[in-house]
Structure 1
Amino acid sequence: MTFLEEVKRRRTFAIISHPDAGKTTLTEKLLLYGGAIHLAGSVKSRKTQKYAVSDWMEIEKQRGISVTSSVLQFDYDGCRVNILDTPGHQDFSEDTYRTLMAADSAVMLIDVAKGVEAQTKKLFAVCKERSIPIFTFVNKIDHYGRNPFDLMEEIENSLGIRAVPMNWPVGNGEYQGIYDRATHTVDLFAKDETHGQKKLASTKESVDDPAFRELLGEEVHQSLIDDIELLDIAGDAFDFDRVRAGELTPMFFGSAMTNFGVKPFLEKFLELAPAPADRKALEETVSASSEDFSAFVFKIQANMNPNHHDRIVFMRICSGKFEKGMSVLHRQSGKTVRLSQPQQFLATERTIIDEAYPGDIIGVFDPGTMGVGDTLCASNHKVTFGDFPVFPPEFFARVTPKDTMKRKQFLKGMTQLAQEGAVQIFEQPHAMDSFIVGAVGMLQFEVLQYRLKNEYGVDLVMNNLPYSVARWVKGDVEISKLKGLDSAMAVTDNRGRTVILINNEWQMGWVVERNPDITFLETPPLNEA
């Protein structure tokens, strides 16, 4: 296969949704149909002791939630599929945001009973800002759900995007199958008792078949014909240019838990989803078809193998062919680094690879030189991708090790977890053996305590602080000269920039008034493309 053919067969996408809409379950079922796994371990299946393949961290298995992004890859129908499974929990939205930077398209998962929820709106806004084409999968139609027309209207009203159904649920609230608008056939799914752990057989019938009318019942059959007629007359026609522009979302119905409609969705999605796109860098727009290597780091994960305390850097390849052991330029340090032991993942199961192409996600070992957002490129063609935005933390705590003899492990653990972006870490001048940690949500603190104990053997003492607002001070400013900081705390972030922590927005406004010559920023200054 030529270089360009390899690039064109890549499909790299993220799955976004509100917590509990079934994101990890859908990921598993896509892997099941892709042949990557043979028995899906759903987070809901209490009768079996299988865990979700993409939830690899112990805390995820215990709670049945995803708190890190997983990178999963498989081949299907001639395509090389890279799925980025993201945390649904809102406390980890920063990890999700960074993951979306690495995706070429997104699948938005919506619960048929709940519709568009708060977290979905936030993540949708990120996709829209980045002009990522969005595909909608309405999940859980094996349960009683809302009218599909109501859902289409809600998507348009709350997200500002029109939906074009590619298939349509059969039944009035109690759904029995899916009608495919392209082939004019209906899939009726066999009910089974395996918790959706194996591929389901389905019965395909033409909608005009009299036997089929009998099977469904007159009322359901007539309702389906009326719905389809209305869609054909009043609905939007599928237009890929509008999908690419973020004005239209192809809409699919199904149930990830019972495999209902997953295979037709996967096949249609791979047909419609875009191949790797060009990327903006500070110097130029990097073409995916360029043979000069470039990539950016969007995620760092420490201790995926707890026995070795390893540190894996996940990067998205933007251009050029990656080859095992190649040397590239690390833009931020100016040093040449050798990318050793490149791996691709199915959660913790790793495969050493020899080559990878634009659109692929690979993990490489890193001794601690790279950070999230860093660029790697060919030394003869230098490019720099823009910094990732940082979410301003809203919760703060002071952390110290319970056992002072574990100071070394504490410092190592805190530094590594901060490089991952799990929490933001600040230092107070002259404060020994303690850090101020900032988080977007309280669950991040729990995960920090859990991981330090389990991965580094350090018990933490955590004291919550009263602050809820952080502001970065622009330029070199002597802190002692700032006025009105009596109830605030001045700290420095991991790059040595001054940050003011203060109780609330009102007090911050007062500090801004007292220091008219100083610029306070809600997020650290970015090096943007």
Structure 2
Amino acid sequence: MARKIPLERYRNIGIMAHIDAGKTTTTERILYYTGKSHKIGEVHEGAATMDWMEQEKERGITITSACTTCFWRDHQINIIDTPGHVDFTIEVERALRVLDGAIGVFCAVGGVEPQSETVWRQADKYRVPRIAFVNKMDRVGADFFRVVDQIKERLGHNAVPIQIPVGKEDEFAGVVDLVRMKAVIWTGEELGAKFDVVDIPDELRDEAERWRENLLDAALVFDEEVMEKYLEGEEVSEEELRRCIRKGTLAMEFVPVLCGSAFKNKGVQPLLDAVVDYLPAPVDIPDVRGHRPGTDEEITRPTRDEAPFAALAFKVMADPFVGSLTYIRVYSGVLESGSYVLNSTKGKKERIGRLLQMHANHRNEIKEVRAGDICACVGLKYTTTGDTLCDESDPIELERMEFPEPVISVAIEPKTKADQEKLGVALGKLAQEDPSFRVRTDEETGQTIISGMGELHLEIIVDRLKREFKVEANVGKPQVAYRETIRKPAKAEGKFIRQTGGRGQYG
């Protein structure tokens, strides 16, 4: 079966940010405007498509990263919405490992917050090009330019606005597009699906000209031809400017900054345009590197359908209907359902039962996946997070992921003896799903100890035991096995007593 969408039109992106910057709300708007969902799900109402777990709906936070696919301007965009809470930082880590680009969302009031710095560092580690979206421009205290300065100073990146806001706080109406030099205004009708492209308001023209100059100075350095043309006094076309911004973004030397208010349905369509215009396709990133299993011989895999198959498993999830789902990112070649592959990390052969395209917790069965695709597989027995799946005839082992060490431990025991075995099975499944969650038995006290990235992390685990596995458990502090030991020599006097019958001897 031939490829329906050329690889140049793929975008594999993640949405990352501090807690409550508006990642899931932004994703919900993206799904609505691309026609993937026909109703906007609000996070605070527990109706967000991407927050499908019961705990996510109740708490209004993202706990597990969710995948979906949508289409914009004839491009296929695979999106992973990640959690913002520090306890679930592993979800961001493994998403960034397999993505080509990212949107960093910032609150227009809070600016660069602690977890923003963490996710930004993670994206630097995997060299993921990104664009920034300053959200919540409608809130009291919103300041777009302050956030741009913070991205430069605290994150050390060359953040350059490619839009400026029209109004702010209650009066935020839209944005000025500095590439087209037009204003984009939302009137608030039809949930933001309709907007007007008009001339820049007179009171903003001088400021727009100033920021346009700033954009040209920062972007044109990436293309000498266009730079010379500009210096000779010629006009730079929209297409040329977009090309320069794209070059800088892919080189990770330029971060385009956009603004909007996802909750008020403003600024999301230009954000989608920026994803298509500036973030990389799988062919724009360097070929994936790995080594021949059992040797140090380095090999690369080009991002092509004709190359031997290679994929990385980045997430394993327990599923009540199909057992376990293994999420993979395909780097090269083609994979068909029902075929056999080699897990080169474990040295085991695996059969692909079914292939599924995921939309949060909804699934669509597909026959094959090709280079650049992200999908879920059913039927893998040995594969865990970070394992490489490849062609048996041409094996490769890709770089594994690094997982942080747990920071907190508690003791857990079932409320009834009958749940003892069920608890062991359930904890095993959860540990397989989440590499930052560990289970062990303390040899001295005999207690089962669970360790994770924070109190919330372990609280969610215990809640999942109850809901998904029907195991009631008690949690408490681990017992400490106290020991006595000789620390230094000491002298003491004592009475010698010996009695073998009769009066005895006393010394």
TM-score, L = length of structure 2: 0.83
Specify the code of the residue in structure 2 equivalent to 1:281. Answer: G
Q: 1:367 to 1:324 in 2, by over 3 A?
A: closer
SS of the residue corresponding to residue 24 of structure 2 reads: helix
Q: Deviations over 1:384-420 (max 9, x none)?
A: 0122111111100121211121222111110000001
Corresponding residue for residue 202 of structure 1: 195
Contact 2:14 2:96 in 1 (8 A): yes
Alignment pair present for 1:280 and 2:289: yes
Contact 1:374 1:387 in 2 (8 A): yes
- Matched residue count: 449
Specify which of 108, 112, 117 is matched with residue 108 of structure 2: 112
Q: 1:225 to 1:309 in 2, by over 3 A?
A: closer
Where do 1:209-228 residues align within 5 Å?
Answer: 212-213=201-202, 220-221=203-204, 224-225=207-208, 227-228=210-211
Give distance in 2, aligned partners of 1:415 and 1:363.
21
Give distance in 1, aligned partners of 2:132 and 2:68.
20
Specify the code of the residue in structure 2 equivalent to 1:446. Answer: E
Where do 1:14-53 residues align within 5 Å?
Answer: 14-44=14-44, 46=45, 51-53=47-49
Corresponding residue for residue 100 of structure 1: 96
Corresponding residue for residue 441 of structure 2: 428
Give distance in 1, aligned partners of 2:184 and 2:247.
29
Specify which of 313, 318, 329 is matched with residue 302 of structure 1: 318
Give distance in 1, aligned partners of 2:423 and 2:212.
65
Where do 1:54-453 residues align within 5 Å?
Answer: 54-171=50-167, 174-192=171-189, 198-207=191-200, 212-213=201-202, 220-221=203-204, 224-225=207-208, 227-228=210-211, 231=214, 236-237=219-220, 238-276=244-282, 277=285, 278-282=287-291, 283-289=298-304, 290-303=306-319, 306=320, 308=321, 310-366=323-379, 368-421=381-434, 423-428=436-441, 430=443, 434-453=447-466
Deviation at 1:295, TM superposition (A): 0.6
Specify the code of the residue in structure 2 equivalent to 1:187. Answer: V
SS of the residue corresponding to residue 393 of structure 2 reads: coil
Q: Deviations over 1:265-317 (max 9, x none)?
A: 102211221111322213322211252111111111113xx4x3621111111
Give distance in 1, aligned partners of 2:210 and 2:188.
25
Deviation at 1:5, TM superposition (A): 6.1
SS of the residue corresponding to residue 281 of structure 1 reads: strand
Contact 2:28 2:41 in 1 (8 A): yes
SS of the residue corresponding to residue 302 of structure 1 reads: strand
Q: 1:145 to 1:204 in 2, by over 3 A?
A: farther
Q: 1:206 to 1:445 in 2, by over 3 A?
A: same
Q: 1:230 to 1:242 in 2, by over 3 A?
A: closer
Q: Deviations over 1:316-335 (max 9, x none)?
A: 11111222222111113322
Where do 1:501-512 residues align within 5 Å?
Answer: none
Give distance in 1, aligned partners of 2:6 and 2:256.
26
Give distance in 2, aligned partners of 1:70 and 1:385.
23
Give distance in 2, aligned partners of 1:460 and 1:91.
21
Corresponding residue for residue 502 of structure 1: none
Q: 1:450 to 1:423 in 2, by over 3 A?
A: farther
Deviation at 1:427, TM superposition (A): 2.2
Where do 1:483-522 residues align within 5 Å?
Answer: none
Q: 1:76 to 1:94 in 2, by over 3 A?
A: same
Give distance in 2, aligned partners of 1:270 and 1:107.
12
Give distance in 2, aligned partners of 1:73 and 1:162.
30
Deviation at 1:434, TM superposition (A): 4.6
Contact 1:297 1:314 in 2 (8 A): yes
Deviation at 1:74, TM superposition (A): 1.7
Give distance in 2, aligned partners of 1:291 and 1:145.
53
- How big is the alpha-carbon RMSD for the aligned residues of Structure 1 and Structure 2? 2.4
Q: 1:422 to 1:372 in 2, by over 3 A?
A: closer
Question: Which consecutive residues of structure 1, in runs of 5 or more, have no partner in the other structure?
Answer: 214-219, 468-484, 488-529
Give distance in 1, aligned partners of 2:302 and 2:216.
40
Deviation at 1:235, TM superposition (A): 5.2
Contact 1:24 1:85 in 2 (8 A): yes
Deviation at 1:367, TM superposition (A): 5.5
| Bigger mean CA offset, 1-10 vs 107-116 | 1-10
Q: 1:141 to 1:448 in 2, by over 3 A?
A: same
Give distance in 1, aligned partners of 2:162 and 2:141.
18
Give distance in 2, aligned partners of 1:359 and 1:432.
49
| Bigger mean CA offset, 1-10 vs 169-178 | 1-10
TM-score, L = length of structure 1: 0.80
Contact 2:422 2:471 in 1 (8 A): yes
Give distance in 1, aligned partners of 2:246 and 2:51.
33
Deviation at 1:63, TM superposition (A): 1.0
Give distance in 2, aligned partners of 1:367 and 1:129.
29
| Bigger mean CA offset, 243-252 vs 28-37 | 243-252
Deviation at 1:255, TM superposition (A): 1.3
SS of the residue corresponding to residue 121 of structure 2 reads: helix
Q: 1:253 to 1:226 in 2, by over 3 A?
A: same
Specify the code of the residue in structure 1 equivalent to 2:303. Answer: A
SS of the residue corresponding to residue 6 of structure 2 reads: helix
Contact 2:351 2:379 in 1 (8 A): no
Q: Deviations over 1:338-382 (max 9, x none)?
A: 111210111111100112222221111246421110110001110
Q: 1:252 to 1:324 in 2, by over 3 A?
A: same
Corresponding residue for residue 471 of structure 2: 458
Corresponding residue for residue 230 of structure 2: none
Give distance in 2, aligned partners of 1:41 and 1:113.
24
Contact 2:340 2:350 in 1 (8 A): yes
Contact 2:94 2:315 in 1 (8 A): yes
SS of the residue corresponding to residue 187 of structure 1 reads: strand
Aligned identity (percent) is 29
Q: Which has the larger radius of gyration?
A: 2
Give distance in 2, aligned partners of 1:417 and 1:190.
47
Q: 1:226 to 1:244 in 2, by over 3 A?
A: closer
Question: Which consecutive residues of structure 2, in runs of 5 or more, have no partner in the other structure?
Answer: 221-243, 292-297, 484-507
Q: Deviations over 1:145-196 (max 9, x none)?
A: 444332222111101101122211112554222111121111111135x8xx
